[in-house]
Copies of this chain bind each other. A is one copy, B any other.
């Protein structure tokens, strides 16, 4: 295993200490594993997100003005525990309640559910918004439902902006759910990733093959295919996304081309070029975009596409000021 680490068990604590040193504006509770904005905002709805580590900058990189109030990082690819989530809620609740933003994985869902019960017992009003945007997984009784992936960034940004403007808990939860409902993702990987604990790649992939329909936890995808040009890969991903959420000429979208950790930025721009061309053909407007590494899967070479069919509220909240390590504008 080739990694810039000291020991697999120490990665999370040391990374948290690095985050604390790099971003003095954030408060990092290394003991409880909570990254939060410095001070509690009285009267503001607080957004708390969390999930396994290994997806950086998600979630700690999105803590700050106009986005999350706190993030709870678990061990690599492991949901955080309820105690962290409760500690986070207690640290940032300003009396207006807390929105838990939860990616749809059994572990995340169960731990956040327990945390919500515990927080309620502490007198904190809690709402939960589930993110489940990955169309590679069918939402059926045959699965644990769709995975939460790239749309998390859209949900956190847009709901965070509304909370910053002073909206109440119900309204913030509602827009979070609306953004999720309007968003779809699909991902393709060219290589497996290696977790510090396991020390080897999750799967072997021949030099001329790719995994289609992967998640963000290093698992294999829905199917294995021969490697194809970027144009065809984008077409596959867009077909899956549009089959589930049709878009017509004039629709406005927010599009994210997200690197899974090991993909050079120049390739992400090639991919974005293909999407822009495909959408231009259809008359679909890419009103806003992100191209970069936002929701990663350690060192996996891969790319995920997320498309949100955005209404005017979402676009204006997207444009609102944000000041976090990984997303910043207007301030």
- Footprint of B on A, CB under 8 Å? 1-7, 11, 14-19, 21-22, 53-54, 56-57, 61, 76, 190-191, 207, 210, 227, 229-231, 233, 261-274, 276, 286, 289, 291, 293, 296, 298-299, 301, 303, 328-331
Contacts and interface: CB of A to CB of B under 8 A. Distances in A.
Contact of A264 (B190, B207, B299): B299
Given A22-B272, A273-B17, A298 B266 contact: yes
A230 B270 contact: no
A117 B22 CA distance: 43
Contact of A329 (B271, B301, B328): B328
B15 A270 contact: yes
Contacts of A53: 266
Determine how many copies of this chain the complex contains: 2
Contacts of A271: 4, 18
B299 A4 contact: no
Given A18-B268, A22-B289, 9 more contacts: A1-B207, A3-B190, A4-B303, A11-B270, A18-B274, A61-B265, A261-B262, A262-B299, A262-B301
A267 B329 CA distance: 26
A233 to B, nearest CB: 7
Contacts of A1: 207
B7 A265 contact: no
Nearest to A22: B291
30 contacts: A2-B190, A2-B191, A2-B301, A3-B267, A4-B263, A4-B270, A5-B229, A6-B229, A6-B270, A14-B270, A14-B273, A15-B267, A17-B276, A18-B269, A18-B270, A18-B271, A18-B272, A18-B276, A19-B269, A21-B272, A22-B276, A56-B264, A56-B265, A61-B265, A76-B266, A262-B262, A262-B301, A264-B296, A265-B296, A328-B328
Contacts of A19: 269
Contacts of A21: 272-273, 276, 286, 289
Interface residues of A: mostly helix, strand, loop or mixed? mixed
A268 to B, nearest CB: 7
B230 A266 contact: no
Contacts of A3: 190, 267
Contacts of A286: 21
A10 to B, nearest CB: 8
A179 B270 CA distance: 33
A298 B16 CA distance: 27
A222 to B, nearest CB: 18
Please name the 6 residue pairs, one residue from A and one from B, whose CB atoms are nearest each other, closest first: A18-B269, A18-B273, A21-B276, A56-B265, A2-B190, A18-B272
A223 B221 CA distance: 38
Contacts of A267: 3-5, 15
A134 to B, nearest CB: 19
A270 B303 CA distance: 24
